[in-house]
Chains A and B, each alone.
Chain A
Amino acid sequence: MTQELRAKAERLRQEVRDFYATVMPADLRDKAHRHQVLSKEDYVGWMRLLDKQGWSVAHWPEALGGKGWSPLERFAFEDELARLGCPWVIPFGVKYVGPVIYAFGTDAQKQRFLPGIKTTEEFWAQGYSEPGAGSDLAGLRTMALKDGDHYVVNGQKVWTTYAQWADWLFCLVRTDRDDKPQTGISFLLIDMKSPGVTVKPIRTMDGFEHVNEVWLEDVKVPAENLIGEEGKGWTYAKFLLKNERTAGAIVGWAWHVLDRLKKHARETQVNGVALIDQPLMRNRIGEYELRFMALELAAYQAVTAMVDGTENGSEASLIKLRGTELYQEVMETLVEALGAAGVAVDIATLHSAGLPPLGPDDTGGILKDHFYNRAATIFGGSSEIQRNIVAKVVLGL
């Protein structure tokens, strides 16, 4: 990896910090700072703000409106945003389906969909998991049968994040009843306004509704909404999963909560001694610091290998496994350290900017994040699946 590339990534980090300080609207920054609940409008506004900066699809090729970012720049961008505590960059359009469309779609599909993805004019959701097909995605049963110039889709998707806001669903469906599990799968784009689509939110333990069941009953989908060839959906899905797993944000999130924990431990006195100077807490925070250092350096090593083309196949899994483990543990410690305020259900202040939260200002919504991210070791390829992959691909077991 060249010095020039490193310098470019460092400059990008500085640009992101400047953007956070001067461009980001104060109310959005405040909501993010307090880990408050964000509405669809907040997210769409956020994604459009990123687009205005030229960042929403900067990892796309230049010919399609991107900047052709290297994996290092992409990592630096996601990592820096997360360290600052910025809102989530909703990945379904810009990160997941966008690249599938430009890599495998027709010209007409590219013209129809890519502009709306770049600007979040259209909001996308991912129709992958089913009740009987979670980690074992190849077990999916949603059927799309060809009938003239359209498909008729029947089935059920689940854990579909923000389907309640979505205009479009990219969906893995089975187009052949008789094929082997992986060969009969196709990749279909479904308009959420189509008759027969029903969205049913699932309430999670934080009390909110982020994920949904999506029922598809005799939904008519034009044949031109098929991506690539029938039966090749598994190939496209694997291409997408590879993009999904390059997540640099997890390192930044881990940094962010560790920073919150240290700040809280410095500012909180117990029997006249700062929490951070109490031997047991100091030892715990020290362990997290050390594990964070290992994560950060290993992530950098992994991204360097991606840039240099010397990956061994374990890189993305390593970042995800170590990052999510550490993130969850640090967050658990932070919630514990907050005492009663950590477990207080403070719904009102999660939605309203005016009310003072029950605990420290910058940890108000940490409980909500703690709940949400308990799923971080489950979604996007569970920790068990990550280990299966590395065992097979890298160790040959």
Chain B
Amino acid sequence: MTTDLETIGMLRDSAARYADDNYSFHQRWAVLETPEGYSRKAWSDFAEFGFLALRLPEDDGGLDGDAVAVGAIMEIVGARLLMEPLLASSILGTGLLLKLGSDAQKFALLPQLADGSLVLALADEDDAAKPCVFADGRLSGRKLGVLQGDIAGKLLVSAQDAATGEAVVMLVDAAGAGVSRRTHKLVDGRGAAIFDFDGAVAEPLQPESGTRADAALADIRDEAAVALCAESLGIVRSLVHITTEYLKVRKQFGRVIGSNQALQHRMVDCLLLQEEIRALTAAAQQALAGPAAERTRIVSGARAYVVHAARKVCNEAVQMHGGLGVTDELDVSHYFRRLMVNAALFGNRDAHFGRFVDAALAA
């Protein structure tokens, strides 16, 4: 599955143009102040543009988008700090449903995902003290940090099947019986939730293809890592641009601060990190379709490097903006907070670095 470059170019251009016209930093303030933490208007516009059907097969009216297509959208999500649940629902929730859902499950849910009427969040991170277990048709346990679980209509929950000991993925109504949801904001303004399942009604995803849940979960976790690399790339490109421009206008001691070699050299290092992030992200996108051992090495390596590199760039951006850099009023601090969230979700830097080292030194 390779999305053609023309489609990817159109995706990128239309998302960027939409953000230019409707999602400026000032327009975004209003979104931050809504209780749900995203723009319903933007969400329905995205549905109309086909962004929500990015991953759907063409037969279902989708774009059949591959990792590069996902990356094109995620780069804009990062560059403009979009708040809508594109990653949580349209990329990860939908992606996992496509891999593991039965035909009937997909038939029921895909249209609602494509038109935006359903937000399907991925609940994958167990509370180690209360792992999720599926027994006798019921789900019990606790999931933490479910990105945009606050606005989700349904959830895909990874669990262990008590009968077989194997991984399963459960489809659960987020407001169903036996489900209690504690919502909270993340530092970047998006919502999340902690879910307690106490004998919740849950329906396993059972694909006719026989795809195993553990394999599909491994895939979707890698896809999350790669999508976050692309989001970080968008963030870093914005930060490098904003900060370079600031260095050209901010004056101290009677001259622009960008004329100081110390700052010039640090800014160059930020640019080098940006270029490395770009190269690693592209390689990780290619590796998703490649052989397993190589995939682990490149995807987790990219994720570990990018998380760290992006935060280095962002720390420099804050520092070079001086006091302004830590204000709520300036976009730099919003990028800072988004990167904090990205570093905490879907496997942190150490977890990915550990996977990378084991894969790289296995030979």
Q: How far is the CB of B22 from chain A (nearest CB, A)?
A: 30
Q: Are B280 and A293 in contact (CB under 8 A)?
A: yes
Stretch at the interface among A9-17, A167-175, A359-367, A382-390: A382-390
Give the distance in Å from the alpha carbon of A295 to the alpha carbon of B279 in the complex: 9
CB-nearest residue of chain B relative to A321? B272
Q: Mark B280-307, 1 if CB is under 8 A from A, else 0.
A: 1011000000000000011001001100
- The docked-state distance in angstroms from the alpha carbon of A264 to that of B20 is 54
Residue from A285, A286, A294, A314 with most neighbouring chain B CB atoms (10 Å):
A294
Contact A286–B361 (Cβ < 8 Å): yes
Closest-CB distance, B251 to chain A (whole angstroms): 14
B353 and A286 form a contact (CB under 8 A): yes
A282, closest chain B residue (CB): B357
Contacts of A388 in B (CB 8 A): 261, 264-265
Contact A297 B361 (CB under 8 A): no
Whether the pair A397, B305 counts as a contact (CB closer than 8 A) is no
How far is B268's CA from A285's CA once the two chains are assembled, in angstroms?
26
Q: A297-B279, A396-B244 are in contact. Are A318 and B272 (CB under 8 A)?
A: yes
B271: Cβ under 8 A from any A Cβ: yes
Asked if residues A396 and B248 are in contact (CB atoms below 8 Å), the reply is yes
Let me know if B298 and A293 touch, CB within 8 A: yes
Other-chain residue from B268, B283, B304, B356 in contact with A391 (beta carbon distance below 8 A): B268
A276 CA to B363 CA, complexed, in Å: 12
Known contacts A286-B356, A290-B353, A298-B276, A387 near B282 by CB under 8 Å: no
Neighbouring B residues of A387 by C-beta, 8 Å? 264-265, 268-269
Interface readout for A17-48 with B: 1 if CB under 8 Å, 0 if not? 00000000000000000000000000000000
Which single residue of chain A is at the shortest CB-CB distance from B258?
A: A397
| Residues of A with C-beta under 8 A to B248 | 396-397
Q: Are A314 and B280 in contact (CB under 8 A)?
A: no
Q: In the assembly, what is the distance between CA of A384 and CA of B265, in Å?
A: 8
Bound state CA distance, A262 and B259, in angstroms? 43
Interface residues of A in 81-105 (CB under 8 A from B): none
The smallest C-beta distance from B217 to any residue of chain A, in angstroms, reads 25
> Chain A contacts of B356 at CB under 8 A?
286, 289-290
Q: Does A300 contact B (CB under 8 A)?
A: yes
Contact partners of A395 in chain B: CB under 8 A: 244, 264, 267-268, 271
Neighbouring A residues of B48 by C-beta, 8 Å: none
Given contacts A387-B264, A397-B248, contact A318 B275 (CB under 8 A): yes
Task: Tell me whether B345 is interfacial, beta carbon within 8 Å.
Answer: no
Q: Closest approach, in angstroms, between the C-beta of B288 and any C-beta of chain A?
A: 15
Q: A397 vs B248: C-alpha distance in the bound complex, in angstroms?
A: 7
Q: Which of B230-274 contact A (CB under 8 A)?
A: 244, 247-248, 258-259, 261, 263-265, 267-269, 271-272
The answer to whether A301 touches B305, judged by C-beta atoms less than 8 angstroms apart, is no
Interface centre among B263, B268, B276 (most CB of A within 10 A): B268
Query: Closest CB-CB distance, A285 to chain B, in whole Å?
Result: 7
Partner of B264, one of A290, A291, A391: A391
Residue in A286, A289, A397 whose Cβ sees the most chain B Cβ within 10 Å:
A397
Q: Tell whether A394 is near chain B: CB-to-CB under 8 Å.
A: yes
Contacts of A293 in B (CB 8 A): 280, 297-298, 301, 305, 360
A10 CB to closest chain B CB, in angstroms?
16
Contact check, A301 vs B264: say whether CB atoms are below 8 A apart. no
Please name the residue on chain B nearest to A286 by beta carbon: B357
Number of A-B residue pairs having CB atoms within 8 Å of each other in the complex:
94
Judge if A322 is at the interface, Cβ distance under 8 Å.
yes
A276 with B361: CB separation less than 8 A = yes
Known contacts A297-B279, A298-B279, A314-B275; is-contact A289 B265 (Cβ 8 Å): no
Q: Tell which of A289, A298, A384 touches B275, judged by Cβ atoms closer than 8 Å.
A: A298
Taken together as a complex, chains A and B put the C-alpha atoms of A282 and B353 apart, in Å, by 12
In the bound assembly, the distance between CA atoms of A384 and B264 in angstroms comes to 10
The answer to whether B361 touches A289, judged by C-beta atoms less than 8 angstroms apart, is yes
- Is the CB of B278 closer than 8 A to any CB of chain A? yes
Closest to A394 in B: B271
Assess whether B268 is in contact with A294, with CB atoms less than 8 Å apart.
no
Q: Which B residue's beta carbon lies closest to that of A384?
A: B265
A378 to chain B, nearest CB (A): 16
Q: Chain B 308-342 against A: per-residue CB contact (8 Å), 1 yes, 0 no?
A: 00000000000000000000000000000000000
**Shortest Cβ distance from residue A8 to the other chain B in the assembled complex, whole angstroms:** 20
B267 near A397: Cβ-Cβ < 8 Å: yes
The answer to whether B267 and A391 have CB atoms under 8 Å apart is yes
Contacts of B361 in A (CB 8 A): 262, 276, 282, 285-286, 289
Which of B248, B259, B263, B301: most chain A CB closer than 10 A?
B301
- Partner pick for B279 among A283, A289, A294, CB 8 A cutoff: A294
A290/B271 in contact, CB under 8 A: no
Q: Which of A349-397 contact B (CB under 8 A)?
A: 384, 387-388, 390-391, 394-397
Provide the residues of chain A in CB contact with B301, threshold 8 Å: 289-290, 293
Partner of B272, one of A285, A286, A322, A397: A322
Closest to B261 in A: A388
User: A285, A291, A293: which has the most chain B beta carbons within 10 Å?
Assistant: A293
- In the complex, what's the smallest C-beta–C-beta distance from B247 to chain A, in angstroms? 6
Shortest distance from the beta carbon of A111 to any chain B beta carbon, whole Å? 43
A291 and B248 alpha carbons, distance in the complex (Å): 31
Q: Which residues of B contact A321 (CB under 8 A)?
A: 272
Q: How far is the CA of A391 from the CA of B360 in the complex (A)?
A: 34
A3 CB, min distance to chain B CBs, angstroms: 13
Q: Give Cα A310 to B258, complex, Å.
A: 26
A391's nearest neighbour on chain B, judged by CB, is B264
CA gap between A291 and B261 in the complex, in Å: 26
**Chain B residue at minimum C-beta to C-beta distance from A288:** B360
- B280 near A294: Cβ-Cβ < 8 Å: yes
Q: Return the CB mask of A292-313 against B: 1 if under 8 Å, else 0.
A: 0111011011100000000000
Q: In the complex, what's the smallest C-beta–C-beta distance from B229 to chain A, in angstroms? A: 12
Indicate if the CB atoms of A290 and B305 lie closer than 8 Å: yes
CB distance from A267 to the nearest CB of B (A): 14
CA distance A289 to B359 in the complex (A): 11
Interface residues of A (CB under 8 A from B): 262, 276, 282-283, 285-286, 289-291, 293-295, 297-298, 300-302, 314, 318, 321-322, 384, 387-388, 390-391, 394-397
In the A-B complex, list the 10 residue pairs whose CB atoms are closest, starting with the nearest: A286-B357, A391-B264, A297-B279, A301-B279, A387-B265, A298-B279, A397-B258, A387-B268, A289-B360, A390-B268
Given contacts A297-B283, A395-B268, A396-B248, 15 further A-B contacts (CB under 8 A): A276-B361, A282-B361, A283-B357, A286-B357, A290-B305, A293-B305, A297-B280, A297-B282, A301-B279, A314-B271, A314-B275, A321-B272, A390-B268, A390-B271, A397-B248
**13 pairs, CB–CB < 8 Å, chain A vs chain B:** A291-B305, A293-B297, A294-B305, A295-B276, A300-B279, A301-B282, A387-B268, A388-B264, A388-B265, A391-B267, A395-B267, A397-B248, A397-B259
